[in-house]
Structure 1
C-alpha cells in the first residue's frame, strides 16, 4: 500500500497522515471539513490502489519466467535422452566412414562434418539440463555457461551451413561434368569449405559480444545457457545472429535441390520424348574415392539410380532440419509465445539425433555398414578401409 502525507487547508488547519491504511488526523470539528476530508482521502486511496494494480499487472505480463519446475524436469529428461541417442548415432556415422572405403567420398566429408557439428550440440546439452534443473540459478562459473551457449549456437549454425555445402555438392555432382566436379572438389578446396562452415559461425558468435551487442550466458528468463536475456541489447543480438546465419543457407538449400529436381525430371522427359528408356544404373563406381557415382566426361546422359537415392536421402536430412528449426523460428517472431520457446528449443536438439536414423533407414551405403556394425560383423563391411584391415589382422 502506498504511504504518503496529505495536507488540507481549511478554516482550521488539519493534517492527515495515511500510513498502512490507518488515518490519523487533527482537524476542526466542523462537519463540512469532515466531509471534505473523507471525499479527498477516498479519491487518494482509489488512485493509489489503481496505480498499484496496473503496475502489478504490467510486471506479470511483461516479465515471463520459466519457473514451472515440472516442465523444466520434463524438458531436461528429453534433452538427456536425445543427447545420448545423438551421441551414439553420430559416432556411428563417423566410424562407418572410417571403416569402409565405400563411404569415403567427397560428399561424405561434409556428412562427417555434419556429424561432428551434431556432436557439438549433444556435448552442450548436459549443461542445458544442469541449468534447467537447478533451483538456484546457474551453479557453475558463468564462463562455463557462456562457452556452452556459444558451442550450442555455433554447432547448429555449422549444421545448416554444412547442409548448404552438401546441397551444392549434390547439384554439381548431378548436373555438371566429371571434370567440373573434380576441379571444384579437390582435397584442399574441400578442406577450405569445411573450415568455413566452422569459422564463419565462430565469428558471428564472438564479434557481436566483443562490440557490446548481446552476451552469451545464463538466461534467467528461460533457465538455460543461451544468450543473457537480461542484457540491454539481447533482442538486437538475437536478430543479428539469426540474420547472419540462417537466410542465405536456406535459400541455397532450396535453390540447389529445386534445380536438381528440375534437372532429373527434365532429363527423364527428354529421354522419354526420344523414345528411349531412362538409363538408370544400379551399380555405382564405388571404388572411385572421388564419388560414389559413375561420372561422365560430358554432361550426364544417364543417372546412377543409387546416386539419386543418396541425393534423396540427403534431402530428407534437410527437410528434418527445417522441420526442427521452424517451430522455434516461428515462436521467436510471435512475442506472446514465450512459454513455448523452451519446448521448441528441444525440437531443435532433436535434429542432432535424427540424422543418423535417416542414414540408417534411407541411405543405401550407410544402411549396409550400420547393419554390420550393430551385429559386430566387421568382416562383412564392404570395401574395408586400411584401418579396419589392421584391426582385423590383430
Structure 2
C-alpha cells in the first residue's frame, strides 16, 4: 500500500531549488488568476463584450483558472513543504490539471479559427457560422472532448511507486510525487493535442497574415480615392495587424514546442529533470499570459477596464453586438467588412 506520509530516500530537493520553484508557481498563480478573472468579469459585466470571439477567450480563461487558481497553489505548497497528498485527492488535482490544459489548448484553436473566418470570409459566412447556438456547441465540444480523454486516462490509471533518480521520464512531478503525465496515455494525448493545436493556430494566423499583406499591396496599387476617405488609416493598421498575428504565433509556438518535444522524448527514454522542469515552467506561462495575449489590442476591453477603474459600472449595461458592419464600398472590396471588423477587435 502506498504510504502518503513517507517519501523515498533522496527525494528531497535542495532548499534553494524548493524556494525558487515555489516562488515561481506562487507568482504565476496570483498573476494568472487575477488576469483570467478580470477578463471573465469584464465580459460578464459589459454586454458590448459578449461576442462570439470573446466567448472563446472566456472559455480559455476558465480552463486556465483550473491551472492557475487550483493546481499551481497546491504544487507550490507541495514543493516548498515537501509534503504529499492522499492518493484520491492527488488524482483529483492532476485530473483537473489535465482537463484545464486540454480545454485551454482547444480554446486557442477556436479563437484562431474564429479570427480566420472573420478576416478571410464574408460577413454573411461569419454570422452564419458563429450563431449563438453554434458557438455554444463549439465551446461545449471542447469540454466534452477533453472529458473523454480524461475518462480514458482515469480508467487506465494505476498509482505507481514513487522513485527518485537523477533522470526521470518526462512526466515526473517536480515535488517528487507522481504527475498526471506519468501515464503514457496522458502524456501522449497531451503531446498530440499540443502539436495539433499548434498546426491549427499557425495555419489560421499565417493565412490571416498573408491576407493582410495582399490587402496592403492591393490598396497601394489601386490607390482608390475612396480609400483616402476611410475613417482610419487602412494600410498602417493592416500592417500592425500583420505583426500582431505573427506575435501571437511566436508566443504560442515558443511556449508549447519545448513541452511537446520533452513529452515525445519521455515516451521512449528518460529525460533529465532539469530539462523537463524548464519546459514545463515555460509551458505554464501560456496559461498566465493568455488573457493579456488576446485582449491587450482590443480597444473595447481597454475601455471597459478604464470604466471599471473609474467605477463606471453602469456602462456595462450597454448592449453589444458582433463587430460586423456593412458599408457603402463593399462592392469595391468584397471582404472589406470582415477585415474592418477584425481591425476593430484588435485595435
Aligned length: 297
Residues in 2 aligned to 1:218 and 1:99: alpha-carbon distance in whole angstroms? 47
Tell me the residue number matched to 1:71: 17
**What is the CA distance between 1:256 and its match in structure 2?**
0.9
Task: Compute the RMSD of aligned alpha carbons.
Answer: 3.5
Distance 1:280 1:197 in 2: 43
Q: Where in structure 1 are there 5+ consecutive unaligned residues? A: 1-62, 284-301, 387-394
Residue of structure 1 equivalent to 2:155: 210
- TM-score, with structure 1 as normaliser: 0.65
Which residue of 1 is the match for residue 282 of structure 2? 347
Q: Which is richer in helix?
A: 2
In the TM superposition, residue 363 of structure 1 has moved relative to its aligned partner by: 2.4
- Cα distance between partner residues in 1 of 2:230 and 2:142: 33
Equivalent residues in 2 for 1:1-394 (5 A)? 67-122=13-68, 123-135=70-82, 137-138=83-84, 140-211=85-156, 221=172, 222-223=174-175, 224=177, 226-227=179-180, 229=182, 234=183, 236-276=184-224, 316-332=247-263, 333=265, 335-359=270-294, 361-379=296-314, 381=315, 384=318
Find the residue that maps to 2:318 and give its secondary structure: coil
Q: Does the C-alpha gap of structure 1 residues 228 and 251 become closer, same or farther in structure 2, counting only changes over 3 Å?
A: closer
Task: Point out the structure with the larger strand share.
Answer: 1
* Equivalent pair of 2:209/2:245 in contact (CA under 8 Å): no
Q: Distance in 2 between matches of 1:383 and 1:338?
A: 51
Segments ≥4 residues shifted beyond 4 Å? 63-66, 214-221, 277-283, 302-318
Q: When the two structures are superposed, what TM-score results if normalisation uses the length of structure 2?
A: 0.73
Structure 2 Cα separation of the partners of residues 142 and 76 of structure 1: 22
Cα pair distance change 1:323/1:155, threshold 3 Å = same
Show CA shifts across 1:147-171 (max 9, x none).
1112112212111111111111111
Shift of 1:93: 0.4
Structure number with larger C-alpha Rg:
1
